[in-house]
Structure 1
């Protein structure tokens, strides 16, 4: 498997978790569990992506700016997660912030899949794409445990 497929698989899980979360209401067990899973998933994904995808892409002028932008968006996502953690889950503000997070994450995923992957495809060799997928997956599992 190549790095692009590995990242896309994570993106699908993130999309699903966010879709579920915006349909929940109140301070429910389901909302808490799905939010914890989403937080863990986003954190582990971002760490693995920054160490084993963006770091490699920063070595090329062609993908340097996109890599910096992606990392910046990870920080914006972290800030929204912090806001959600500080907001009462039963308030309408929580759902408002959750929808903001969903919008930010979906924007980030689209940019990666539509723009970054295309440029990265020109910069990375076939072997690098496979090695990065393995390194990404190992890092992500380490982050989750």
Structure 2
């Protein structure tokens, strides 16, 4: 069975591909695809994964930083949503989003996950994975079709 780490890494890779596409096409459609991937991803991490990690004193600072990075990505995405495709600053804002997310993913995969694997059992990481997949399904059903 997949662990939460397996699922999150797959999603990180998918978003990385979409960010590359956004850099090439400066398209609002591509940005909507990124948002459709990142919104449930971040919400799921914040509801199910991070709270488990926060129970461990040694992980609280890393998790707090991860929340800050999520907020930064949301803020940049919000700015992008209000821009038009003809905006001359669109490509630089997409680049900012890409760098923000890449930095977060690197820290999560190289710092948070290895630390989490030391404190969460394999069973627990599989249980969180199942809850995460169910949460994402529910999240997407609550999201308007135009945002998926």
TM-score range (shorter-chain normalised) is over 0.9
Match of 1:92 in 2: 88
Match of 2:49 in 1: 53
State the 1:88 CA deviation: 1.9
SS at match of 1:84: helix
Q: What is the correspondence of 1:1-145 to structure 2 with a 5 Å cutoff? A: 1-25=2-26, 31-145=27-141
Question: Gapped runs of 5+ residues in structure 2?
Answer: 142-148
SS at match of 1:120: helix
When the two chains are superposed, the root-mean-square deviation of aligned CA atoms in Å is 0.9
State the 1:32 CA deviation: 2.5
| TM-score normalised by structure 1 residue count | 0.93
Cα distance between partner residues in 1 of 2:14 and 2:135: 17
Cα distance between partner residues in 1 of 2:41 and 2:130: 13
State the 1:34 CA deviation: 1.5
State the 1:33 CA deviation: 2.1
SS at match of 1:92: coil
Q: In the comparison of the two structures, how many residue pairs are matched?
A: 140
Q: Which runs of 4+ in 1 moved over 6 A?
A: none
Question: Gapped runs of 5+ residues in structure 1?
Answer: 26-30
Cα distance between partner residues in 2 of 1:144 and 1:99: 26
